[in-house]
Amino acid sequence: MTNSLNDIRHTKSMIFIGSNATENHPVSMQHILHAKEVNNAPIIVVDPRFTKLAAKATEFVRVRPGSDCAFIMGLVNEVIANGWEDKEFIRTRVAGYQEMVEVAKHYTPEAVEDVTGIPAEQTRRVAKILAQNRPTSLTWCMGGTQHTIGSSITRAFCILQLVLGNMGKSGGGTNIFRGHDNVQGATDMCVLSHSLPGYYGLSDGAWKHWCRVWDVDYDYIVGRFPDKEWMGKKGFTLARWYEGVLAEEELETPSPVKALIQWGCGTNSNSQYNRVVKALNKLELLVIVDPFPTAAAALTKTDNVYLLPGASQYETSGSVTSTSRQFQWRFKVVDPVYDSKDDYEIMSLLVSKLGFADEFYKNIKEVPEDITREINKGTLTIGYNGQTPERIKKHMENWHTFDIEDLQAKGGPCDGDYYGMPWPCWTEEHPGTPILYDVSKPVAEGGLPFRNRFGLEKTYDSSGRKENQLAADGVYNPGSEVKGGYPEFKDVVPGTNWKTDLTQETLKTAIKRGMAPFGNARARCVVWNFPDQVPIHREPLHSPRPDLIEKYPTYEDQPNHYRVMTRYKSEQKPELVKEFPYVLTTGRMVEHMGGGAETRSSKYLSELQPEMYAEINPRLANNLGIRKDDMVVIESPEGSKIKVKAFITPRVDDKTIFLPYHFAGTLMGESYLKDYPEGHEPYVVGDPGNTVTNYGYDIITQIQATKDGLCKVTRA
């Protein structure tokens, strides 16, 4: 989030696209509804389903799954066609604007209607609402990202906000809601296959930086790899790790994956679940660390599965980073119950057994405080420096001194700080940055320009135009020595830059001069290192509109995409829709969480949502002869099937089937409850929705495309 949940209280309009905050982020709703009530702020909900959030909307826009980019570019085009763009903001703080406009021109309200199914009149109306009610807060979640073009869709969201001039302002921003109190923290630590913590990437420089932080010899780390070249290569992703086990697709890896540790992870959130189950049973070693036995524990029939009972969040402590980039301290409520152990202890026992405890714990003597301190020391890129354990705890103890409206402490021991010191919090004196890219405040007081990350100038491929990438003269934070754009800071301490200077002298110098360590640049609309430099619509791999495939084709197949061949063009078959005529999309329900291991083991939550189901529109149900409470079989183009109860509801339209993905414990109605450790069976079981989610992965991130597949439905 560029802003915070609390800051949504100041918005003048809201647009949610691919987000169902009422079910997934209920607490955020108090701020959303506050803005609706007090500011008269319209709520626009763009979704294939009439969700519980749509029930609170002033405008519901039903979009065909996977066509979000076309709609947003349509809004961009409509805003510009009417002269509603923020001309001064664009002139001074945006790059690649003209090149983007050329692309957006294609997305007239009529072209948008053809692709998305949204009436042209509604696109015009929504554009006008956004133009007349600024600033707008824009929120997306996995409905925006889980597509083959997810990376383009999310960029289109950002471009819309730049064009409207809604960035760096209270009440504006791109506000991506994260699922629980530390999803942002996990992301920032890059629990991912393509980057070291803090988004440093996998370059030699990145490895050397972290070796300095860890106080470990770089050559020692090199020696841990079979060959140095593998240190810089991306690994398998969460979406496709099982391909590394199965080795049926073309792989680029020194060896197939043989062992897997799943630490607090429900496998049934993986698409192509039949392949996942096959891979689980091929592994030589599977270790599951979780407070509850997960579906994987029951589905793996081999005898090399180890269940380590991990403690819950109430049985341990440590720092976490919330969706609003705020740091909080979790305090332990009780000691771990029975024979469970907290994550730190499990990790420590594992590391000692593997024989590198000395290197691993060089800076870590007091757990968990020293872990936070090591993160403070090394994560300079996003300003994780000033949030020391002492400061975080002080904030927790003085909640009452922070203002609900702007999150700032007014008096008291944390006077002037923003709650949780939202990153970047550059130094131990810095109050945190409540709103990113806000040039109205001094950097020392939480202000920030756009980061200079992509060079000083660029000649665009599409136009041949050369453009300065730094902010225009006159755009700067109050007190800045340079009254306009400037590049990132380096060589303050010779041989280092702001990201690698562990003395943090560079950060302090920049702030003393009233400037941001990472420079003052423009936000770019053209991303020259992406296959689509400006976001465009491309049809989902399995499209219900074969007539659009030629006009909006997908990408070429990608060999070695995170080590595995990923099909695009060869998978996009126009004839598929004849046999699989309905769009399949998935999502969550408020009662369950992720793979559901935890919530389906709660008797009360299970009582509220005791059954897996498929949402089917009444018209479609009648056409297919499906009656209330009938069982239906849903089949995917990959040939996998699930048997679930029909939930007949107008939430979905008559071309779309919706599945929640939290269930497991049966396959095609066949129970495998007997395979759970005795006494640990969940109360509620059902067929995993992800058994039938289709093939498809984002071109950049490889996130699974679970929101826009196809399926066939029959009465069981």
Return the residue of 284, 358, 415, 607 that touches other proteins, per CB under 8 A. Answer: 607
- In the complex, the smallest distance separating the C-beta of residue 50 from other proteins, rounded to whole angstroms, is 5
Calpha distance 160→172 (Å, rounded): 12
Q: Considering beta carbons, is residue 496 or 586 the nearer one to other proteins?
A: 586
Q: Considering beta carbons, is residue 9 or 499 the nearer one to other proteins?
A: 9
Calpha distance 196→287 (Å, rounded): 23
- In the complex, the smallest distance separating the C-beta of residue 607 from other proteins, rounded to whole angstroms, is 5
- In the complex, the smallest distance separating the C-beta of residue 408 from other proteins, rounded to whole angstroms, is 20
- In the complex, the smallest distance separating the C-beta of residue 683 from other proteins, rounded to whole angstroms, is 9
Return the residue of 430, 522, 651, 707 that touches other proteins, per CB under 8 A. Answer: 651
Q: Considering beta carbons, is residue 12 or 275 the nearer one to other proteins?
A: 12
Contact present, 81 and 65 (Cβ < 8 Å): no
- In the complex, the smallest distance separating the C-beta of residue 172 from other proteins, rounded to whole angstroms, is 12
For residue 23, state whether it binds other proteins (rule: CB under 8 A).
yes
Calpha distance 373→387 (Å, rounded): 9
Q: Considering beta carbons, is residue 156 or 164 the nearer one to other proteins?
A: 164
Q: What value does the CA radius of gyration of the chain take, rounded to a whole number of Å?
A: 25
Q: Considering beta carbons, is residue 89 or 107 the nearer one to other proteins?
A: 89
Contact present, 644 and 686 (Cβ < 8 Å): yes
The mark string for 121-150 relative to other proteins (x by CB under 8 A, - otherwise) is: -----------xxx----------------
Return the residue of 19, 22, 379, 504 that touches other proteins, per CB under 8 A. Answer: 22
For residue 608, state whether it binds other proteins (rule: CB under 8 A).
yes
For residue 43, state whether it binds other proteins (rule: CB under 8 A).
no
- In the complex, the smallest distance separating the C-beta of residue 32 from other proteins, rounded to whole angstroms, is 9
- In the complex, the smallest distance separating the C-beta of residue 648 from other proteins, rounded to whole angstroms, is 10
DSSP string of 247-305, one letter each residue? --S-B-SSS---EEEEES--GGGSSSHHHHHHHHTT-SEEEEEESS--HHHHH--SS-E
Return the residue of 17, 29, 61, 277 that touches other proteins, per CB under 8 A. Answer: 29
H/E element, 205 = helix 204-214
For residue 605, state whether it binds other proteins (rule: CB under 8 A).
yes
Stretch of 25-33, 98-106, 149-157, 468-476 lying at the interface with other proteins (CB under 8 A): 25-33
Calpha distance 482→485 (Å, rounded): 7
- In the complex, the smallest distance separating the C-beta of residue 652 from other proteins, rounded to whole angstroms, is 8
Return the residue of 16, 60, 84, 661 that touches other proteins, per CB under 8 A. Answer: 60
Calpha distance 79→100 (Å, rounded): 13
Q: Locate 658 and state its tokens.
A: 């919706």
- In the complex, the smallest distance separating the C-beta of residue 131 from other proteins, rounded to whole angstroms, is 10
Pairing of strands 285-290, 305-309: parallel
Stretch of 49-57, 294-302, 499-507, 688-696 lying at the interface with other proteins (CB under 8 A): 49-57
For residue 662, state whether it binds other proteins (rule: CB under 8 A).
no
The mark string for 329-368 relative to other proteins (x by CB under 8 A, - otherwise) is: ----------------------------------------
For residue 40, state whether it binds other proteins (rule: CB under 8 A).
yes
Q: Which residue's structure tokens are 């995917």?
A: 636
Calpha distance 161→137 (Å, rounded): 9
For residue 89, state whether it binds other proteins (rule: CB under 8 A).
no
Calpha distance 258→708 (Å, rounded): 32
Q: Considering beta carbons, is residue 4 or 13 the nearer one to other proteins?
A: 13
Cis peptide before 135 (omega within 30 of 0): yes
CA distances from 79 to 90, 107, 583, 707 (A): 13, 12, 30, 28
Q: Considering beta carbons, is residue 64 or 391 the nearer one to other proteins?
A: 64
The mark string for 375-394 relative to other proteins (x by CB under 8 A, - otherwise) is: --------------------
CA distances from 50 to 235, 288, 615, 617, 643 (A): 38, 37, 11, 11, 24
Q: Considering beta carbons, is residue 57 or 346 the nearer one to other proteins?
A: 57
Q: Strand ranges (DSSP E) for 604-668?
A: 613-616, 631-635, 641-648, 656-660, 666-667
Spell out the residues 6+ positions from residue 351 whose beta carbon is closer than 8 angstroms to its own. Answer: 357, 360, 361
Q: Locate 530 and state its tokens.
A: 């992406």
Question: Which residue in 359, 146, 358, 354 sits closest to 269, CA to CA?
Answer: 146
Residues between 487 and 546 with contacts to other proteins, criterion CB under 8 A = none
The mark string for 570-599 relative to other proteins (x by CB under 8 A, - otherwise) is: --------------------xx--------
The mark string for 621-650 relative to other proteins (x by CB under 8 A, - otherwise) is: ----------------------------xx
For residue 668, state whether it binds other proteins (rule: CB under 8 A).
no
Question: Which residue in 133, 153, 134, 132 sits closest to 143, CA to CA?
Answer: 153
H/E element, 152 = helix 150-163
CA distances from 187 to 193, 200, 426 (A): 11, 12, 19
CA distances from 108 to 49, 78, 79, 111, 118 (A): 24, 7, 11, 5, 12
Q: Considering beta carbons, is residue 6 or 13 the nearer one to other proteins?
A: 13
Return the residue of 50, 263, 555, 672 that touches other proteins, per CB under 8 A. Answer: 50
How many residues at the interface with other proteins, by CB under 8 A? 35
- In the complex, the smallest distance separating the C-beta of residue 140 from other proteins, rounded to whole angstroms, is 19
What are residue 666's DSSP bridge partners?
A: 671
Query: Cα-Cα-Cα-Cα dihedral of 71, 73, 75, 77, to 10°?
Result: -140
Burial of 358 (0-12, 13-18, 19+ CB in 10 A): exposed
Stretch of 36-44, 234-242, 388-396, 529-537 lying at the interface with other proteins (CB under 8 A): 36-44
Residues forming contacts to other proteins in the complex (CB under 8 A) are: 12-13, 22-23, 26-27, 29-30, 33, 37-41, 49-50, 52, 54-56, 60, 132-134, 590-591, 603-605, 607-608, 649-652
